Amino acid sequence: DTGVSQNPRHKITKRGQNVTFRCDPISEHNRLYWYRQTLGQGPEFLTYFQNEAQLEKSRLLSDRFSAERPKGSFSTLEIQRTEQGDSAMYLCASSLVPRLWNEQFFGPGTRLTVL
């Protein structure tokens, strides 16, 4: 049983650099979500896709952030000109809609540290 995978698991970068994360959802899932979690907080919604269409973006997603899901399978999240405030755990989740229970399956996350 292949769950949601995320790469890399850890990323250390210098302020001002660009970073890109990848998420591979569960294969039959049509929904893919990105969340960000900082210390002492719960996951905060960033954006989500239904197949390849990006349906909603949070106010948290500044212009430096861009997400894609070009073929409706894997997704990438890019952060340009990283800032120290971008340091966080970036979580990806996937689900199949419609269904009885909106159970989102989470990946292990990518921990970003901006120096």
**CA dihedral (97, 44, 66, 93) positive or negative:** negative
Determine the Cα–Cα distance for residues 4 and 81; give it in Å rounded to an integer. 27
Nearer to another protein, 74 or 105 (CB): 105
* Burial of 57: CB neighbours in 10 Å, binned 0-12, 13-18, 19+: middle
Q: Which residues from 16-35 bind another protein, rule CB under 8 A? A: 31, 33, 35
Instruction: Report if residue 48 touches another protein, rule: CB under 8 A.
Output: yes
- Which span sits near another protein by CB under 8 A: 11-19, 61-69, 72-80, 105-113? 105-113
Q: Which amino acid is at 51?
A: N
CB of residue 86 to another protein, shortest distance in Å: 19
- Where does this chain bind another protein (CB under 8 A)? 4, 31, 33, 35, 40-45, 48, 56, 91, 93, 97-109
